[in-house]
């Protein structure tokens, strides 16, 4: 098993990072789009926690994550019946691992059904199989669920999900209720306008 890979970031595409290790080998690593966006510029050093999959046709696929927690979440999703590694990566693009865990722990399938190919039945399966596991992990579940509620309200007000998420991430952690978080997010977005 390859636990992690470090080296020089040679190339990034929509779903793949090419990492050149010190021994001159170029590793093709599948990543979530959100992880690729956070990676440093080409030519920089990068370290990815990895998951190696042997496909049905005998090929090896390497999946990479910027944090060990992301890898653990990916492995948990990948263990759910009907969810493969590529679908797990797409799910991880919807929100942060923390927010996804909180949604699963609270039984909220709305966040999961935003993923193309994940309908209500698949979302329910993910929740049933992982709910108890993530309930233990969700330290600030109430805060994250408040952000999910606040995000929905901001989208209904006409903001994009990306704008809503970006504004909510800037709201102080001391602001707890969804209503107050919405007000703060609106104030933050109002300053940009």
| pLDDT attached to residue 43 | 92
- The answer to whether the CB of 95 falls within 8 A of the CB of 165 is yes
| pLDDT attached to residue 143 | 53
| pLDDT attached to residue 141 | 47
Q: Are residues 128 and 90 in the same domain?
A: yes
Task: Give 136's pLDDT tier (boundaries 50, 70, 90).
Answer: low
Q: Are residues 77 and 60 in the same domain?
A: no
Poorest-confidence range of 7-11, 72-76, 126-130, 148-152? 148-152
| pLDDT attached to residue 56 | 83
Percent of the chain with pLDDT over 90: 41
**Which domain does 180 fall in, by range?**
141-192
- Residue that terminates a domain, selected from 32, 65, 98: 65
Length of the chain in terms of residues written: 193
Query: Which of 90-99, 140-149, 157-166 shows the highest mean pLDDT?
Result: 90-99
Strand-pair partners of 9: 19
| pLDDT attached to residue 137 | 57
The phi, psi pair for 63, rounded to 5°, reads -115, 140
| pLDDT attached to residue 68 | 92
Domain CATH number, residue 119: 1.10.150.20
Task: Give 191's pLDDT tier (boundaries 50, 70, 90).
Answer: low
Q: How far is CA 19 from CA 7, 8, 32, 40, 55, in A?
A: 6, 5, 15, 12, 21
The Cα–Cα gap between 78 and 7 comes to 26
- 35: Cα within 13 Å, side-chain hemisphere: 27
The Cα–Cα gap between 117 and 1 comes to 30
Number of domains in the chain: 3
More confident residue, 162 or 87: 87
- Residue that terminates a domain, selected from 21, 49, 65: 65
Q: What is the mean pLDDT of the chain?
A: 85
| pLDDT attached to residue 193 | 45
Please name the residues in contact with 137: beta carbons below 8 A apart, sequence gap of 6 or more.
101, 105
**pLDDT per position as a tens digit, 39-72:** 999 999 999 999 999 888 888 999 999 999 999 9
- The answer to whether the CB of 138 falls within 8 A of the CB of 101 is yes
């Amino acid at each position: 098993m390859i636990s992690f890979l470090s080296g020089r970031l040679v190339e990034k595409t929509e779903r793949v990072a090419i990492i050149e290790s010190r021994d001159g080998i170029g590793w093709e690593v599948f990543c979530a789009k959100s992880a690729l966006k956070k990676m440093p510029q080409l030519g920089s050093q990068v370290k990815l926690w990895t998951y190696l999959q042997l496909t049905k046709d005998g090929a090896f696929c390497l999946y990479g994550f910027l944090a060990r927690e992301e890898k653990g979440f990916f492995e948990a999703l990948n263990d759910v019946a009907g969810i493969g590694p590529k679908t797990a990566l797409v799910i991880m693009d919807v929100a942060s691992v923390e927010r996804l865990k909180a949604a699963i722990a609270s039984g909220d399938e709305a966040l999961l059904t935003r993923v193309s190919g994940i309908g209500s039945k698949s979302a329910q399966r993910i929740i049933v199989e992982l709910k108890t596991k993530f309930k233990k992990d969700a330290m600030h579940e109430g805060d994250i669920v408040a952000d999910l509620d606040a995000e929905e309200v901001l989208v209904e007000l006409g903001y994009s999900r990306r704008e809503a998420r970006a504004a909510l991430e800037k709201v102080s952690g001391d602001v707890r209720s969804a209503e107050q978080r919405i007000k703060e997010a609106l104030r933050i977005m109002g300053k940009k306008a």
